[in-house]
């Protein structure tokens, strides 16, 4: 049977960082990802990152991705693409389905001493009449099309949601040559950074706050051709008589993300609900270990944040995994974890970050109270 | 309708992979080898990938990263192929999926 020291699931920033740390310490690491390419969402992030120089501010997401892939290669991380975890069984056994849809697929059983789950997040949806019509999609889906596949999702775009995703992707859609005809926000205020909002306002995109999408109307070909928006009252209900019809072939929804916890559930790790982090998340301690001994988590799967926090959490998970394998001393591991938690604290500052720091502290506390020490469950 | 991004201020959008021919519902279109099938179709203005089982409603690109299955099509006779994470190969025969087949 195939055996590895560490299995890492998800090759985004968290999974790559975890793999690199573990492999550098001498562990046999297998990193799996269901996509055609590694890097997670980094390769669609063509904007320069904010933050301090320690966190590569001013660097574009895809350059960070390239650097990580290089480091992973140097460290000897084995990467399987188009590979999905489909089962977890007693005795540290993991079933991985390998292969492309329509082609020959095989299910491989792996015995892995440690598992690091870095499965990221999935996009939230806003439902309105016609939301399943082709042409209505996630803002992230549109971003993948333009920045990774270099194909426009459509010509005239209505963006729903003015958080940072909605704002940044609107700008990037314009950079790709699309026409963003409206940005819709149900709240009375723009959700994301003013600097991003200013950029798209300067480019002439009308921003409709206190508005929602009422309907996406398909044309003869069955795809979106018109979008009806309306003002909302204080309870976010559309106000009759305020409808406006916009000519557009695409609606992109940037309504936030929720942690992807399927694998965490498969491993029967204990979850907790956390609104600010996007929904149900696995309880974890300061080693990023879940309620199940030897199973670690990192990145958006532990609560939706951003690439830099994912990277740092990934490093902690990697370090903790090799510590428990006896590849580095507990003293060394603890020293490095403290350094990383300090950097994470620096990332979780400011109007958007403070709340996340508070919630992270609460989660660590909840872990202490409910679990204390991770238990062997098999 | 061509939806390829042909100019970009940051990205090098030139796809150096060879252009190959694939068949979509009987029509031949050009696609870059290795790009997701979905991207090739979208660049040719094809936005409907399948029709639902019960209500026969059209579906197309929704998540773009293999999570939602809305872009599933029949590829070389096999149904339920998520076209957003399946690469193009020369000579592929692709059909709009109707229900489960």
Residues of B whose CB is below 8 A from A132: 57, 59, 70
Token pair of A294, please? 């030897």
Distance of CA A71 to the CA centre of its chain: 21
- Residue A378 has what pLDDT? 55
Tell me phi and psi for residue A284, to 5 degrees: -150, 160
For residue A351, the model assigns a pLDDT of 76
Q: Do A254 and A166 form a contact (C-beta atoms < 8 A)? A: yes
Q: Does B78 touch chain A (CB under 8 A)?
A: yes
Give CA–CA dist A136/A313, Å, rounded. Answer: 33
| Beta strand B27-32 pairing with B50-51 | unpaired
**Nearest-angstrom CA–CA distance, A268 and A259:** 16
H helices, E strands: number in chain A:
9, 19
pLDDT at A352: 76
Contact A88, A7 (CB under 8 A): no
CB A260 within 8 A of CB A254: no
pLDDT in the model for residue A93: 97
Nearest by CB to A147, from B11, B75, B78: name it.
B11
Count of other CB atoms within 10 angstroms of residue B10: 14
A and B: number of Cβ contacts within 8 A = 117
Query: Which among B61, B65, B78 has the least Cβ separation from residue A153?
Result: B61
Candidates B6, B7, B9, B10: best to mutate against A (most CBs of A within 10 A) is B10
- A201 burial level (CB within 10 Å; 0-12, 13-18, 19+): middle
Closest chain A C-alpha to B94 CA, distance in angstroms: 11
Cβ atoms < 10 Å from Cβ of A277: 24
φ/ψ of residue A255, rounded to 5:
-110, 30
Length of chain B as a residue count: 101
Q: What ipTM did this prediction achieve?
A: 0.96
| Residue B19: Cβ within 10 Å count | 12
CB contact under 8 A, A102 and B39: no
Q: Are A47 and A58 in contact (CB under 8 A)?
A: no
pLDDT of the residue at A52? 64
Contact A172, A237 (CB under 8 A): no
pLDDT band at B1 (very low <50, low <70, confident <90, very high): low
Q: Which residues contact A122 (CB under 8 A, 6 or more apart)?
A: A257, A258, A260, B63, B67
Could you give the 3-state DSSP secondary structure of residue A292? strand
Please report, in tens digits, the pLDDT of each residue of chain A (378 residues total).
999 999 999 999 999 999 999 999 999 999 999 998 999 888 888 877 766 666 667 788 888 888 999 999 999 999 999 999 999 999 999 999 999 998 889 999 999 999 999 999 999 999 999 999 999 999 999 999 999 999 999 999 999 999 999 999 999 999 999 999 999 999 999 999 999 999 999 999 999 999 999 999 999 999 999 999 999 999 999 999 999 999 999 999 999 999 999 999 999 999 999 999 999 999 999 999 999 999 999 999 999 999 999 999 999 999 999 999 999 999 999 999 999 999 999 999 887 789 999 999 999 999 999 998 888 765
User: Looking at residue A45, what is its pLDDT?
Assistant: 84
In 3-state terms chain A splits into helix, strand, coil percentages (rounded to 5) of 35, 30, 40
Interface of B with A in 81-100 (CB under 8 A): 81-82, 84-87
The answer to whether B19 faces chain A, any CB pair under 8 Å, is no
How far apart are the CA of B24 and the nearest CA of chain A, in angstroms? 16
> Which pLDDT does position A19 carry in this prediction?
98
Does B13 or A73 have the greater pLDDT score? A73
Stretch B18-40: mean pLDDT? 97
CA angle A265, A280, A133 (to 5 degrees): 95
Residue A115 vs residues A13, A14, A306: alpha-carbon distances, Å: 16, 13, 22
Q: Is B73 on the interface with A (CB under 8 A)?
A: no
- The alpha carbon of residue A256 is apart from the nearest alpha carbon of chain B, in Å, by 13
Closest B-chain CA to A41: B65
Confidence (pLDDT) at B19: 95
Output the CA angle A203-A206-A211, nearest 5 degrees: 150
Burial A100-113 (b: 16+ CB within 10 A, else e): bbbeeeeeeebebb
Task: Tell me which chain A residue has its CA closest to the CA of residue B73.
Answer: A102
Residue A54 has a pLDDT of: 65
Tokens of A268: 């029967």
């Amino acid at each position: 049977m195939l055996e590895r020291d560490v299995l890492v699931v998800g090759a985004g920033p968290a999974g790559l960082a975890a793999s690199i740390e573990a492999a550098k310490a001498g562990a046999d690491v297998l990193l799996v990802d269901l996509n055609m390419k590694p890097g997670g969402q980094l390769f669609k992030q063509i904007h320069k990152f904010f933050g301090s120089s320690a966190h590569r501010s001013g660097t574009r997401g895809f350059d960070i991705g390239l650097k990580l892939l290089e480091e992973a290669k140097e460290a000897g991380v084995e990467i399987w693409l188009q590979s999905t975890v489909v089962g977890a069984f007693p005795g540290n056994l993991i079933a991985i389905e390998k292969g492309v849809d329509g082609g020959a697929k095989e299910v491989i059983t792996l015995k892995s001493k440690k598992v690091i789950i870095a499965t990221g997040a999935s996009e939230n949806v806003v439902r309105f009449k016609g939301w399943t019509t082709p042409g209505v999609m996630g803002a992230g889906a549109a971003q993948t099309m333009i920045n990774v596949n270099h194909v426009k999702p459509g010509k005239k775009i209505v963006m729903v949601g003015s958080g940072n995703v909605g704002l940044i992707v609107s700008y990037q859609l314009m950079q790709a040559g699309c026409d963003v005809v409206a940005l819709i926000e149900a709240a009375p205020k723009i959700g994301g950074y003013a600097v991003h909002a200013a950029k798209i306002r300067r480019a002439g995109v009308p921003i409709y706050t206190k508005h929602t999408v009422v309907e996406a109307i398909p044309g003869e070909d069955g795809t979106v051709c018109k979008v009806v928006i309306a003002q909302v009252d204080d309870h976010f209900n559309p106000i009759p008589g305020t409808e406006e019809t916009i000519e557009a072939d695409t609606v992109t929804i940037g309504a936030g993300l929720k942690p992807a916890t399927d694998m965490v559930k498969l491993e029967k790790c204990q979850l907790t609900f956390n609104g600010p982090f996007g929904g149900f998340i696995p309880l974890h301690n300061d080693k990023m270990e879940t309620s199940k001994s030897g199973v670690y988590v990192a990145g958006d799967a532990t609560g939706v944040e951003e690439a830099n926090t994912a990277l740092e959490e990934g490093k902690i998970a990697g370090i903790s995994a090799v510590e428990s394998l006896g590849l580095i001393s507990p003293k060394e591991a603890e020293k490095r974890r403290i350094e990383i938690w300090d950097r994470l604290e620096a990332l979780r500052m400011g109007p958007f970050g403070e709340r996340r720091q508070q919630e992270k502290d609460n989660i660590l506390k909840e872990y202490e109270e409910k679990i204390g020490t991770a238990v062997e469950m098999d | 309708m061509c939806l390829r991004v042909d100019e970009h201020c940051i990205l090098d959008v030139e796809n150096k992979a060879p252009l190959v021919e694939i068949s979509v519902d009987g029509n031949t279109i050009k696609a870059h080898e290795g790009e997701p099938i979905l991207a090739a179709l979208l660049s040719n203005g094809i936005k409907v990938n399948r029709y639902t089982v019960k209500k026969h409603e059209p579906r197309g690109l929704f998540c773009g990263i293999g999570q939602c299955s809305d872009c599933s099509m029949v590829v070389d006779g096999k149904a339920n192929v998520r076209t957003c994470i399946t690469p193009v190969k020369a000579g592929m025969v692709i059909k709009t999926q109707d229900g489960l087949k």
